[in-house]
Amino acid sequence: NGIRLKESFVLGQPTIENRPATEVGTTSARMPGEVIDPGSSTPLVTLYYGEADAGAVTGNWDQSASLGPQSGSFGPVTENLNPATTYYFSYYAQNSTAARWASPSETFTTLALPPIIDNLPPANVLAFGAELGAEVTSSGGIPPTVTIFYGTSDGGTTPGNWDQSIDLGILTGTATMSVTGLLSNTTYHVRARAVNSGGTVWAGSSVSFTTLQVTLASIENEPAMGVTGISAVLHGTVTDTGGDPPLVRLYFGRTDAGASSTGWESFVDIGPQTGSYTRFVGNLVPESTYYFRAL
């Protein structure tokens, strides 16, 4: 008739219950229990615990600890747990008559450790921008949210004392982000901060860098490539950015207008450039000599 035996009762068997965990730390917790009825004799109590609920199967629990004879309330502090980890535990009591599990199992999650974070050296420093980064060398069990603070003065570990900040989000390992809008020829200080449920931690100290002084950029024309009857690929090189990648415009036409921007037939903007560049141009007149020059 679909009847299933859930639990049997033997006269004289003990009755034991799990209680909610207390004093939960990063690597330890107190796992309480209580012998409600010892039955025919004081039972021997064993604690079973682990990262999965193994129910009433002793061999499936990760760890166990014998507490010896117990009566009333008890609750050992268990050490050497993993941070930021969910654990289950249950008690097993056995007296001279029978054995019995406490049910259901209890669960708790250990706290995370504070993360550990370092600054990365600023990279790709230009007149008005730089690339800033940080490295999380230990997550503490929960990946932290990382923020990089920067400014013309060192704000220490007080967020409000910094001029600007950028958010790298939740981070494990390393990450970088480019910042712009800096002042040229100016010294900046940088410090990373990491936050998880284990606490807020700053990099050990700030790092600094000085933006470049802006100077005139240098650019050279290179021979055109891929010339056809109606098109060509114009080529050149920015040999010196002057600390600020210049905006490049290519002028071309059938008359060499030299350094007169208004004298050329056509032009095309190709945006900021830092080295060699090419640009396809079409709709040219067949069998015509063309001149080009970059500004």
Q: In terms of C-beta density within 10 A (0-12 exposed, 13-18 middle, 19 or more buried), how is residue 249 classed? A: middle
Band the pLDDT of 4: cuts 50, 70, 90.
confident
Percent of the chain whose predicted confidence (pLDDT) is above 90: 95
DSSP for 91-126, written as a single string = EEEE-SS-EEE-SSPEEEEPPPPPPEEEEEEEES--
Q: What is the mean pLDDT of residues 88-94?
A: 97
| Structure tokens given for 99 | 């054995």
What pLDDT score was predicted for residue 7? 61
Band the pLDDT of 9: cuts 50, 70, 90.
low
| Structure tokens given for 293 | 């020059």
* CA 196 – CA 105 distance, rounded (Å): 28
Q: Tokens 């700030």 label which residue?
A: 206
| Structure tokens given for 54 | 């193994």
CA distances from 182 to 36, 125, 129, 188, 210 (A): 70, 10, 6, 9, 10
What pLDDT score was predicted for residue 142? 93
Q: In terms of C-beta density within 10 A (0-12 exposed, 13-18 middle, 19 or more buried), how is residue 185 classed? A: exposed
What pLDDT score was predicted for residue 8? 61
pTM of the model: 0.71
What pLDDT score was predicted for residue 6? 64
Q: What is the mean pLDDT of residues 212-228?
A: 96
pLDDT for residue 110 is more than 90: yes
Q: What is the mean pLDDT of the chain?
A: 95
Q: Could you tell me how far CA 48 lies from the centroid of its own chain?
A: 35
CA distances from 212 to 201, 204, 218 (A): 31, 26, 16
Band the pLDDT of 12: cuts 50, 70, 90.
confident
pLDDT for residue 3 is more than 90: no
pLDDT tens-place string over residues 32-53: 999 999 999 999 999 999 999 9
| Structure tokens given for 43 | 């039972």
* CA 267 – CA 62 distance, rounded (Å): 73
Q: What is the mean pLDDT of residues 183-202?
A: 96
pLDDT for residue 57 is more than 90: yes
Q: What is the mean pLDDT of residues 88-107?
A: 95
Cβ proximity of 136 and 173 under 8 Å: yes
Q: What is the mean pLDDT of residues 152-181?
A: 97
Cβ proximity of 113 and 198 under 8 Å: yes
pLDDT for residue 217 is more than 80: yes
* CA 82 – CA 94 distance, rounded (Å): 29
Band the pLDDT of 10: cuts 50, 70, 90.
confident
- For residue 17, give the nearest of 104, 108, 107, 109 by alpha carbon: 104
pLDDT tens-place string over residues 60-71: 999 999 999 999
